[in-house]
Structure 1
Amino acid sequence: MKGQAIEKIARLTQDRAFVLLRETRQFFSGNQGGASNDDPVLLPSGRYKGILPSEFIQAYHLSHSKQQDVLKLFDGDVDNSVVLDWTPLVKPSELWVRIPEELEFNLENMEFYDGNGDIVKGAMRTYFVRRSAVADGTWKREQGPVFDGKDFREWTTGKDPLSWSPENTDARYTLPEAIDVAYIIFKIDTHVPNEIRLTGNWLPYKEPAPHVPEMAPIGNMLGMVILWPDVVDPRNVWDGVAEHKWEALKGYTCFRDYTDWKTFEGKEGEFSYEPSAWGGALRDTYYQRMHDEGKEVMVCPQKVPDWFQEANYPPEQRGESNVPKAWDADGEDWKSYEKVAHLYYRISARYGRNKDIPEEFLSVKEKPFYPNQPANKPKAGLGTVQYMQVDNEPDRYWHGRQAYQNGREYAARSSACYDGHKGKMGPGYGVKTADPSMQVVVGGLVGDIGFMRGMIDWSKENRGYKLNDKGQKVVDLPFDIIDYHVYHNTANSTQDQQANTTGICPELSTATERAKDFLQLSYEECGGMPVQISETGYDIHPESPQRAMATPTRSILQTQADWGIRAALLYARLGIYRIYTYMATDVTNPSSGKYSTSGEIDKVNGYKRRPAADFKAQLNKLMGSYTYKKTLNTDPAVDVYELNKNEIYVLWIPDQVSRTGEYELSLGTDKAVVHSFVEGADEMKKETVMTKNGKLKIIVTETPVFVSRQ
């Protein structure tokens, strides 16, 4: 880390010194930033010609890096060095640039602005994929120039890839002809140029308008992440559901069952469900209970079991968070994921809706694990699970390369788990093979839409296209719902929290922009499929970097409750499909570490609901089926929800300093009912009040309040 810091300071110092020198030369030459020559020219043919504007460039890096850093390569600023990742996780890595098909872009020239000439270990290579190669399905890569960082502070077209070597750096590259380019792929070893510019000609193009998604009921925002001990009593697992625990949980509308692969397959080829191989929980029983009470279930198998690690990883690389493939298998090849694809088939066969499952895929470990324990029995089509999630946070960079997948690698795994890669794996592989009605969910991304674009482009190349229900040609994607994770905090709402970071209320975070990015991506490239969040939440430990903040009038517990409700309201307004809060209870030995104390149910004191759980149960009871209609005001925030022409107004201050305000509602009735949260209760407090000329003035706080007509 110390060496990286010194390198970073040195590079920034060089950058600033050169900018000063260049500006001095411009002053004495009389050129102080005159008119730009970069504006495209409209040709008589109706096409534009010039430098392609950055807004038409869709770029993403197949490694752990931030999308805003990738886009700096095309922002026109030649003076700042671009660093995609100070500690590269994937090496060499690929940076993909895609040009919208509608442009029909013809590349005539490509240039790199060399910064400090500091590529010392490996040059950056370029490859072109023509539109014609995409159309014929070959996706042939043609070699382009080499960028070796030897042209200090100059624009360069790069070096000839056929004659370049570290010893021969003089052979300049010239594009032999205009290329009908669809993608440009940069293979990066260490560094990248300060800037890349593409020159050519293209058709007029208007970016798609912002998408207005279909709104989901507010109840969809009240899901919860659970572990099996949250539902059953570990001391009496064979009794099924523990009623006192279910009483605390039943205020939530849906559950994400956060479980381990070994739960279902304790030994290779031995499947157990009721009881499960690990923990002994009666999964059939508690899935059935959730189903009977109208709670939808998403199963998220994660963590590779010991038997898989021992067979597929050398001892020094083993870990339960590893990617479920052999250590030396090709991550972008769907054939690498046979074992996990069969696991997803098995779970879907048992808990999906299809009862017509071949007997050979219903086998279970029938011999009980312990004396007097119930035995597993073959079953199919129980119909109690609606969603299968392919792993948890597949872009988990903090566990190292053996645990991390980029978008293309994860797409290959998803394709195997989705439908056995379009059935090519044969019977017994993939969710859809077992139950076509089961919905497959992306594994809760910690990154941004660049990861999704990697998945989409892999799917274009390897799965092709299909006709949707409207007869439109769409990419054949191996998922039905997009899913990401967001923790609102002062670390830009990422999972890179440090000791000095804290939680932050959702409205003051970057949550809105990120949600809009995913929703727009879904609209433009995924047929408008639902976008959901399967993890969000706040800790209550006063030293956690993800803690809810006490305010002058609210404790940490109360703020956790307020912000949880406000997150639900924010995402319902934006058009997010569903939210699951992480998680039901604190970890077994809670600490000041992040996510250690984010539980909304207090398992130490008899599984009693904390205020956050009280508030969500009360909100669901009041208006769980209502959907967002419109916003009347932003501060105080005033949103209107509707069900069968009945309206409920929601009012709150979008801040975290105990600020208050006043707002006058125009209701048009003589009376109104004000609904307020109550800690420790099942229902909100209701107060009937008189209006004045059909209007009601109300004092608004940072805790949402609800008003309905009477």
Structure 2
Amino acid sequence: MKSTSILAISLFLLLSSCTNAQRPGKTPSDKDTPKKNVPAKPAPVRAFAPNPSLFKNHLGINAFEWDFSDDDNSFIPVGRKAVMRSFGGFRHYMDWEKLESNEGQYTFNPVHSGGWNYDMIYEWCKSEGIEILADLKSCPDWLQNTYPEDKRNAENVPAPYGLDRSNPASYVKQARVAFQFAARYGHNKGVPRGLMSVYTKTRWPDDPQNHIRAGLGYVSYIECDNERDKTWKGPQAHQSAEEYAANMSAFYDGHMGRLGKNAGVKTADPAMKVVMGGLSDPDVKYVIKMIEWCKKNRGLKADGSVNLCFDVINYHAYNNDYLPGGDATVGKPPERSQAGKIADEFVAMSEKYAGGTEVWNTESGYDLNPKSTQRAIAIGAKPALITQADWMLRSALLYVRHGIKRSFFYMLDDFDAKSTTQYASAGFAEGHIKRPVADYFLQAKKLIGNFHFIKNMNADPIVDVYSLNDRKIFVMFVPDEKGRKAVYNLNLGDASSAKVYTLVPGANSMSSKIVAAPKGMLNITLTETPVFVEPVTSR
């Protein structure tokens, strides 16, 4: 059975930890009148580089283990499976407490804090092609208890109270649980069994017993905590860039093996990728300072590159109308926010300082509550529910266009749909029922999930080109929030017609129709909802 208190506490901590990446802008009216069709004017076209990342890699979701069950944790209900199939990735908010509810006693299947079966959940995701990012976060109770009573919080720095936060050895306890997780769920079947540990005692008669299992191959990515740059939980929860780099060095490889044979992800599975905890404030200077720490404390590799303590750079960004010195009042569509600018800054920083290390965005989203400062708005006759779907899918398309390699969105279920608190009503589903945004993700995953971005042909309306072998699909829409439409003449080359795919709320697949393209030209009216156009060549 699920614990209501566990769910509420975990979700509250997440809501209080999310942050914003915003763009100055005018607050739109919730009753903006749709504009008349306007012929598209030529817009400057930026030369975006092709992105080899498959589009399904940008359809990730943030969720918990309890999102895979109802009242019985021993199986995944059909309805839960149907919802999760909408996504290409699962960022698992995984509390350290679940794996090690008592110090040194590791449990996985079932975990002794809550009773969820991680083996079952991960195996199913693997079988469905849903990439797992396990985000090991929060301090277990036994670690919190090392702090003075008035300073205890699950989001404290993951080291016992009083230790030197700039010393990687202070984080050895977290590095050890990371080793156990990577040894079990990574790809290295040769981990010495003598270094692996599970707590074999059961909680009650007939309770399933935990057993050591090595190299299951279910998980390829693990994230070191979440938003360690946070400032709103007090100094005991904030890490400077240098302190977090020391933390990650322990987590990554036991600080180059110095913390023992059972500490660090890479010590257990050299192939598992370690993802930097998503930054709440998307500031590249924080990452640059981490890189400088690595250069000083981890040195250089044989090829002259910095021996980094991470394989992926990660940040969070929620887009709204925030102005310096003021407060956000409403969500903004990705193209009219700082989303592209921030992505460009991170990709450029990675190229300059980190050898082109992959950059991910693992949190972004919009609320549905009409009083939230992070809400998606109703536009003319279009309800906020559809605007949320439009903006989320367009966010994924933007991140691909700007060179981000994976994207995850916040989050599967609402914390409280009636709450006006930002991020509380950003859910993609309600239990077994998908919202339109999940429908859109599923439909896009089915159509272009295995395609990758080739180029952008036009800025307004946006015309992106995706490719898979000899297939080509154009993704087209108006990047606005006013109900604006635009007519565009698309050159299809030798094609005599096109198959036009349209997103359908409440359905599992897009609708489609064949449209004539005289002399290879398709005249199409575009809206703020993406459409997908595939040339049809006569054989």
2:12 matched residue in structure 1:
none
1:487 matched residue in structure 2:
318
Deviations 1:635-665 (A, max 9, x none): 1111111111321111111000101110001
> 1:367 deviation in Å?
2.1
AA matched with 1:236: D
1:681 to 507, 511, 523: 507
1:303 to 113, 122, 138: 138
State how far apart, in whole Å, the 2-side matches of 1:479 and 1:401 are.
24
Deviations 1:392-450 (A, max 9, x none): 11111111111011110000000000000000111100000000000000000122001
State how far apart, in whole Å, the 1-side matches of 2:253 and 2:158 are.
17
> 1:212 deviation in Å?
4.7
> 1:211 deviation in Å?
9.7
> 1:356 deviation in Å?
2.1
2:77 matched residue in structure 1:
242
State how far apart, in whole Å, the 1-side matches of 2:263 and 2:416 are.
36
State how far apart, in whole Å, the 1-side matches of 2:51 and 2:291 are.
22
2:466 matched residue in structure 1:
641
State how far apart, in whole Å, the 2-side matches of 1:354 and 1:639 are.
39
1:478 matched residue in structure 2:
309
1:453 matched residue in structure 2:
288
2:451 to 605, 623, 626: 626
1:547 matched residue in structure 2:
375
State how far apart, in whole Å, the 1-side matches of 2:402 and 2:165 are.
35
8 Å contact kept, 1:240–1:281:
no
Q: 1:590 to 1:439 in 2, by over 3 A?
A: farther
Q: 1:639 to 1:420 in 2, by over 3 A?
A: same
Q: What SS does the corresponding residue of 2:237 show, helix, strand or coil?
A: coil
State how far apart, in whole Å, the 1-side matches of 2:504 and 2:334 are.
22
AA matched with 2:65: W
> 1:455 deviation in Å?
0.4
Q: What SS does the corresponding residue of 1:420 show, helix, strand or coil?
A: helix
AA matched with 2:360: Q
Q: What SS does the corresponding residue of 1:689 show, helix, strand or coil?
A: strand
AA matched with 2:504: V
User: RCO (CA 8 Å, sep 6+): is it higher in 1 or 2?
Assistant: 2
Tell which structure's C-alpha radius of gyration is larger: 1
Mapping for residues 91-240 of structure 1, pairs under 5 Å: 212=49, 214-233=51-70, 235-237=71-73, 239-240=74-75
2:523 to 666, 673, 697: 697
> 1:240 deviation in Å?
2.4
2:364 matched residue in structure 1:
536
> 1:328 deviation in Å?
2.2
Mapping for residues 546-565 of structure 1, pairs under 5 Å: 546-565=374-393
- Are 2:202 and 1:371 equivalent residues in the alignment? no
State how far apart, in whole Å, the 1-side matches of 2:433 and 2:136 are.
28
1:331 matched residue in structure 2:
165
State how far apart, in whole Å, the 1-side matches of 2:386 and 2:49 are.
33
2:29 matched residue in structure 1:
none
- Are 2:225 and 1:391 equivalent residues in the alignment? yes
Once structures 1 and 2 are overlaid, which stretch shifts more, 389-398 or 641-650? 641-650
Q: 1:459 to 1:211 in 2, by over 3 A?
A: farther
AA matched with 1:567: S
* Matched-pair identity in %: 40
1:595 matched residue in structure 2:
423
State how far apart, in whole Å, the 2-side matches of 1:675 and 1:259 are.
37
8 Å contact kept, 1:481–1:529:
yes
Q: What SS does the corresponding residue of 1:414 show, helix, strand or coil?
A: helix
State how far apart, in whole Å, the 2-side matches of 1:370 and 1:248 are.
33
> 1:360 deviation in Å?
3.5
8 Å contact kept, 1:213–1:528:
no
Gaps of 5+ in 1: 1-65, 68-209
Q: What SS does the corresponding residue of 2:406 show, helix, strand or coil?
A: coil
Deviations 1:606-630 (A, max 9, x none): x111000000100010111111111
2:179 matched residue in structure 1:
345
AA matched with 1:703: T
Gaps of 5+ in 2: 1-19, 22-46
1:609 matched residue in structure 2:
434
> 1:355 deviation in Å?
1.8
8 Å contact kept, 2:50–2:455:
no
Q: 1:707 to 1:212 in 2, by over 3 A?
A: closer
8 Å contact kept, 1:678–1:684:
yes
1:270 matched residue in structure 2:
105
1:259 to 94, 111, 122: 94
AA matched with 1:559: T
8 Å contact kept, 1:591–1:597:
yes
Once structures 1 and 2 are overlaid, which stretch shifts more, 609-618 or 331-340? 331-340
State how far apart, in whole Å, the 1-side matches of 2:372 and 2:471 are.
42
AA matched with 2:448: M
8 Å contact kept, 1:676–1:705:
yes
Q: 1:590 to 1:356 in 2, by over 3 A?
A: farther
State how far apart, in whole Å, the 2-side matches of 1:401 and 1:213 are.
42
8 Å contact kept, 2:379–2:483:
yes
State how far apart, in whole Å, the 2-side matches of 1:401 and 1:436 are.
33
State how far apart, in whole Å, the 1-side matches of 2:353 and 2:440 are.
37
- Are 2:158 and 1:321 equivalent residues in the alignment? no
Deviations 1:180-235 (A, max 9, x none): xxxxxxxxxxxxxxxxxxxxxxxxxxxxxx995743121111011110111122x2
2:14 matched residue in structure 1:
none
AA matched with 2:177: L
1:510 matched residue in structure 2:
338
1:115 matched residue in structure 2:
none
Deviations 1:527-564 (A, max 9, x none): 11110011111111111111111111311110010001
Q: What SS does the corresponding residue of 1:271 show, helix, strand or coil?
A: coil
Q: What SS does the corresponding residue of 1:613 show, helix, strand or coil?
A: helix
State how far apart, in whole Å, the 2-side matches of 1:610 and 1:439 are.
32
> 1:326 deviation in Å?
2.7
> 1:331 deviation in Å?
1.4
AA matched with 1:475: V
> 1:263 deviation in Å?
0.5
AA matched with 2:79: H
1:207 matched residue in structure 2:
none
1:192 matched residue in structure 2:
none
Q: What SS does the corresponding residue of 1:501 show, helix, strand or coil?
A: coil
Q: What SS does the corresponding residue of 2:506 show, helix, strand or coil?
A: coil
8 Å contact kept, 2:368–2:417:
no
State how far apart, in whole Å, the 2-side matches of 1:317 and 1:277 are.
26
- How many equivalent residue pairs? 490
Q: 1:573 to 1:342 in 2, by over 3 A?
A: same
State how far apart, in whole Å, the 1-side matches of 2:400 and 2:193 are.
43
> 1:296 deviation in Å?
1.3
2:4 matched residue in structure 1:
none
> 1:582 deviation in Å?
0.9
2:477 matched residue in structure 1:
652
> 1:370 deviation in Å?
3.1
- Are 2:115 and 1:280 equivalent residues in the alignment? yes
2:276 matched residue in structure 1:
442
AA matched with 1:676: T
> 1:633 deviation in Å?
1.2
State how far apart, in whole Å, the 2-side matches of 1:582 and 1:374 are.
33
Q: 1:680 to 1:211 in 2, by over 3 A?
A: closer
